[in-house]
Amino acid sequence: MKEISLVIIGGGSAGLAAAVGAYDEGVKDILIIERSPYLGGILNQCIHNGFGLTEFKEELSGPEFADRFIKQAQERNIPYVLESTVLEVTKDKVVTYTSAKEGVVKIQAKAIIMAAGCYERSAGAIGIPGDRPAGVLTAGQAQLLLNQYGYMVGKRVFILGSGDIGLIMARRLTLEGAKVLGVAEIMPYSNGLNRNMVQCLEDYNIPLYLSHTVSRVYGKERVEKIEISKVDERMRPIKGTEMTFDVDTLILSIGLIPNNTLLNNIGIPTGRSRGCAVDNHYESEFEGFFACGNVLHVHDLVDNVVAESREAGKYAARYIQGQLEKKQDRIHVSAGDGIGYVVPEYVALDGSKTTAFKFRVRKPSKNVYITYTLNGNVIKKVFKPVIIPSEMEIMNIPSELLGEGKGELSVSLVQKEEN
Amino acid sequence: MEERDLICIVCPRGCHLHVDKDLNVTGNFCPRGAAYGKQEVTNPTRVITSTVRIENALLPLCPVRSNGAIPKGKLFEAMKEIDKISLKAPVKIGDVVIHDLVGSGVDLIATRDMPVVK
């Protein structure tokens, strides 16, 4: 069997940045395994701009951002295979992939970095009542078809879900000549970035229906009509609030889920983000298995993905070099009141001055403290005038506050008391 | 000029801006927000991103963007101009695809390397 020190599953922004991170830390025996016929992953279909403000201090489009990392990997001669699908990963780090070119290949790795991104929630996942005609597709599918293959996915379009890709597709389809009749969002607030509400919906007078969902799809061969309804506090459609729209296409932008099946299959514990439960070195509960990017937790900004992934690559390299041992003493981190998830799940003190905590709040909140409680004592309170679920928070907490690095740490949201 | 509350679209941060009658901007995190606020109430502009047809490449489309912002009112006119052209691989990132897009003084550039694929 072929032996390779570090196998990276996924050649998108996370996989490329992880490879660069590991290489620069001294591990050069790497293989990136990518499913598509090109590197760069989902960025290739994100042709809009707004990428790279933190990483490159420039505003780039998705393909340009991807290109920078493809070139960083190529400058280092980091090997990769394309059109290759990983079929299986075993507990003893044997990776099996298949491609038309090579057939079935088995590799014994010393460490594995999972960087396979995320997938989209589909129509089946939310069970929209009504017919099952053609013309219902996810925002990412629509984006791939339109931006990479030139297929106009519809002429009269309705969008369910106000996630960023949905908003960006509303603008894109409008510019390409489609009529976007509206966007429905089941929550009472938008799930997209503010700037996308402005430049994708307001700019083109596309209405946003908050606290609404699609309650029925009509159509024999192709979508002919959809019905939306207002929802109650428990998100059930309210009778008598129905509105119908004559459309030929329904686009779903209803959430992204870490694509972690390969590791779930071997029983790696997962966290609340639905990716692996990792420590502050992005190592999972299985030694030598690392995860980063959207397969760990869904990010809003690729700049954060590459920063995280470079770190994951660095620690994977240290593991291979025998410089990263799992410590007995570590802190277990949990999401307390008002917090959806926190990455990392464990912190093992390693002499770093600060420890980064990444999390999302459950609902938009004002005048709150993000409160860090270690073994019953509040060790840090960070005031936030405004905090919203659609923006991931990254807070660097001084490691000296983490005491001896043992016990339970809870991150929670506490309302500031009014005077 | 009327007072306006805007959401900055310069970066994903999305600052809440207030622009007063004398074009003073508050609420911005960085200087680009102040510039955006002023611009948005006087002459709103947007960067346009799209695709153009390409032959002899891995994919039938090459992504493009304007190398700067163009007047918001000219976006659809720009799309028409973009629709008319077709490229031939190889194309390099940054290659100018259309000079002076819709008279804006801004060029349309390719945003992906498109090598020849036979």
Judged by average pLDDT, the poorest of A3-17, A107-121, A339-353, B8-22 is B8-22
Who's near A278: CB < 8 A, 6+ residues apart?
A271, A284, A290, A291, A296, A343, A344, A345, A346
Task: Report the amino acid identity of residue A396.
Answer: N
Q: What is the pLDDT of residue B81?
A: 97
Q: What is the pLDDT of residue A12?
A: 98
Q: Residue A198: which pLDDT band, with cuts at 50, 70 and 90?
A: confident
Our CA-based measurement puts residue B94 at a distance from the nearest CA of chain A, in whole angstroms, of 9
A130 burial class (0-12, 13-18, 19+ CB within 10 angstroms)?
middle
Rounded to the nearest integer, the mean pLDDT of chain A is 95
Q: What is the mean pLDDT of residues B4-18?
A: 83
DSSP 8-state assignment for residue A326? P
For residue B12, is pLDDT > 70? no
Higher pLDDT, A232 or A196: A232
Asked if the C-beta of A98 comes within 8 angstroms of chain B's C-beta atoms, the answer is no
Q: Residue B14: which pLDDT band, with cuts at 50, 70 and 90?
A: confident
Nearest CA in chain A to B78: A175
Q: What is the pLDDT of residue A334?
A: 97
Domain boundaries, chain B: 4-42, 49-110
Q: What is the pLDDT of residue A240?
A: 97
CB-closest option in A60, A149, A176 to B59: A149
For residue A325, is pLDDT > 90? no
Residues from chain B that touch A148, judged by Cβ atoms under 8 A, are: 59, 61
Rounded to the nearest integer, the mean pLDDT of chain B is 93
**Distance (Å, whole) CA A323 – CA A387:** 38
Percent of all residues in chain A with a pLDDT value above 90, rounded to a whole number: 89
The CB-side HSE value for A320 (13 A sphere, CA atoms) comes to 25
SS3 A30: strand
Higher pLDDT, A230 or B5: A230
For residue A353, is pLDDT > 90? yes
**Distance (Å, whole) CA A69 – CA A48:** 18
> Which numeric CATH code is attached to B49-110?
3.10.530.10
Judged by average pLDDT, the poorest of A180-184, A257-261, B8-12 is B8-12
DSSP 8-state assignment for residue A283? B
Our CA-based measurement puts residue B22 at a distance from the nearest CA of chain A, in whole angstroms, of 23
CB contact under 8 A, A59 and B61: no
Asked if the C-beta of A302 comes within 8 angstroms of chain B's C-beta atoms, the answer is no
Residue A72 near residue A20, CB atoms below 8 Å: yes
Report CA torsion sign: A11, A17, A21, A24: positive
CB contact under 8 A, A300 and B12: yes
- Mutation target among B65, B72, B92, B106 for the A interface, most CBs of A within 10 A: B65
CB contact under 8 A, A148 and B61: yes
Residue A370 near residue A396, CB atoms below 8 Å: no
The CB-side HSE value for A211 (13 A sphere, CA atoms) comes to 8
In this predicted model, what pLDDT tens digit does every residue of B75-110 receive, in sequence order? 999 999 999 999 999 999 999 999 999 999 999 999
In this predicted model, what pLDDT tens digit does every residue of A172-184 receive, in sequence order? 999 999 999 999 9
Residue A364: cis peptide before it, omega within 30 degrees of 0 = no
For residue A317, is pLDDT > 70? yes
Q: Residue A125: which pLDDT band, with cuts at 50, 70 and 90?
A: confident
3-state DSSP: chain B helix, strand, coil percent, rounded to 5?
25, 30, 45
CB contact under 8 A, A194 and B61: no
- Write the ipTM: 0.90
In this predicted model, what pLDDT tens digit does every residue of A199-232 receive, in sequence order? 899 999 999 999 999 999 999 999 999 999 999 9
DSSP 8-state assignment for residue A344? -
CB contact under 8 A, B75 and A44: no
For residue A405, is pLDDT > 80? yes
Who's near B63: CB < 8 A, 6+ residues apart?
A47, A61, A62, A63, A147, B49, B50, B51, B110, B111, B112
Q: Residue A419: which pLDDT band, with cuts at 50, 70 and 90?
A: low
For residue A167, is pLDDT > 70? yes
Percent of all residues in chain A with a pLDDT value above 70, rounded to a whole number: 100
Who's near B80: CB < 8 A, 6+ residues apart?
none
3-state DSSP: chain A helix, strand, coil percent, rounded to 5?
25, 35, 40
Length of chain B in terms of residues written: 118
Q: What is the mean pLDDT of residues A330-345?
A: 97
Asked if the C-beta of A350 comes within 8 angstroms of chain B's C-beta atoms, the answer is no
Q: Which chain B residues have any C-beta within 8 angstroms of a chain A C-beta?
A: 6-14, 16, 46-51, 53, 58-61, 63-65, 72, 75-76, 79, 93, 111-113
Per-residue buried b or exposed e for A217-245, using 16+ beta carbons within 10 Å of the residue's own CB: bebeeebebbbbbbbeeeeebeeeeeeeb
In this predicted model, what pLDDT tens digit does every residue of A268-306 receive, in sequence order? 999 999 999 999 999 999 999 999 999 999 999 999 999
In this predicted model, what pLDDT tens digit does every residue of A18-69 receive, in sequence order? 999 999 999 999 999 999 999 999 999 999 998 998 999 999 999 999 999 9
Q: Residue A126: which pLDDT band, with cuts at 50, 70 and 90?
A: confident
Residue A229 near residue A201, CB atoms below 8 Å: no
Judged by average pLDDT, the poorest of A118-132, A222-236, A394-408 is A118-132
The pairing of strands B16-19 and B25-26 is antiparallel
In order of start, what are the domains of chain A with their CATH numbers? 2-119+257-326 (3.50.50.60), 122-254 (3.50.50.60), 334-415 (2.60.40.10)
